[in-house]
Structure 1
Amino acid sequence: MTSSGPAIGIIGSSGRMGQALEQAIAAAGHQLSGGVDKGQDVSRLADASAALVDFSAPAALQNNLHAAIGAGVPILVGTTGLAEEHHMAIDHAAQAVAVLQTGNTSLGVTLLAHLVAEAAARLATDWDIEVLEMHHRMKVDAPSGTALLLGEAAAAARGIALAGHMESGRDGHTGARAEGAIGFAALRGGTVAGEHSVIFAGEQERIVLSHSAENRMIFAHGAVRAAAWLIGQPPGRYTMRDVLGL
Structure 2
Amino acid sequence: MTFPVSDSPVRIAVAGASGRMGRMLIEAVSQADGCVLAGALDLPTSPAIGSDATAWLGRSSGATITADLDRGLEHADVLIDFTRPEGTMAHLAVCRACGVRMVIGTTGFSDEQKATIREASAEIGIMMAPNMSVGVNVVLKLLDMAARALSQGYDIEVIEAHHRHKVDAPSGTALAMGEVVAAALGRDLKECAVYGREGVTGERDPSTIGFATVRGGDIVGDHTVLFAGTGERIEITHKSSSRVTYAQGSVRASRFLMTQGPGLYSMNDVLGLA
Question: Which category describes the TM-score, using the shorter chain as reference length?
Answer: over 0.9
Determine which of 226, 246, 259 is the counterpart of 1:199: 226
Aligned partners of 1:125 and 1:179 also within 8 Å: no
Runs of at least 5 residues in structure 1 that lack an aligned partner in the other structure: none
Q: 1:28 — aligned with what?
A: 32
Task: List per-residue Cα deviations over 1:51-92 (Å, max 9, x = no partner).
Answer: 111111111222211111112121011111111111111111
Residue type at the aligned position of 1:5: P
Tell me the secondary structure at the aligned position of residue 207 of structure 1.
strand
Q: 1:189 — aligned with what?
A: 216
Relative to the length of structure 2, the TM-score reads 0.85
How do residues 5-154 of structure 1 correspond to structure 2 at under 5 angstroms? 5-29=9-33, 30-39=35-44, 40-154=67-181
CA-atom RMSD in angstroms: 1.3
Q: 2:207 — aligned with what?
A: 180
Runs of at least 5 residues in structure 2 that lack an aligned partner in the other structure: 1-7, 45-66
Structure 1 moving runs of 4+ over 3 Å: none
Tell me the secondary structure at the aligned position of residue 205 of structure 2.
coil
State yes or no: 1:171 paired with 2:175. no
Tell me the secondary structure at the aligned position of residue 81 of structure 1.
coil
Paired residues in the alignment total 243
Counterpart Cα distance in 1 of 2:200 and 2:28: 47
C-alpha change, 1:125 and 1:166, in structure 2 (3 Å) is farther
Aligned partners of 1:61 and 1:86 also within 8 Å: no
Aligned partners of 1:137 and 1:189 also within 8 Å: yes
Counterpart Cα distance in 2 of 1:154 and 1:208: 13
Counterpart Cα distance in 1 of 2:29 and 2:159: 31
Tell me the secondary structure at the aligned position of residue 169 of structure 1.
coil
Counterpart Cα distance in 2 of 1:87 and 1:137: 26
Counterpart Cα distance in 2 of 1:61 and 1:189: 26
Return the offset for 1:126: 2.3
Percent identity at matched positions? 42
Tell me the secondary structure at the aligned position of residue 207 of structure 2.
coil
Return the offset for 1:149: 1.0
Counterpart Cα distance in 2 of 1:235 and 1:177: 44
Counterpart Cα distance in 1 of 2:43 and 2:190: 31
Counterpart Cα distance in 2 of 1:5 and 1:174: 56
Q: 1:223 — aligned with what?
A: 250
Aligned partners of 1:155 and 1:162 also within 8 Å: yes
Aligned partners of 2:17 and 2:23 also within 8 Å: yes
Return the offset for 1:42: 1.9
Counterpart Cα distance in 2 of 1:124 and 1:110: 21
Task: List per-residue Cα deviations over 1:80-107 (Å, max 9, x = no partner).
Answer: 1111111111111111111111111110
Aligned partners of 2:225 and 2:236 also within 8 Å: yes
Relative to the length of structure 1, the TM-score reads 0.95
The structure having more radius of gyration, on CA atoms, is: 2
- Structure 1 window deviating more from structure 2 (38-47 vs 101-110): it is 38-47
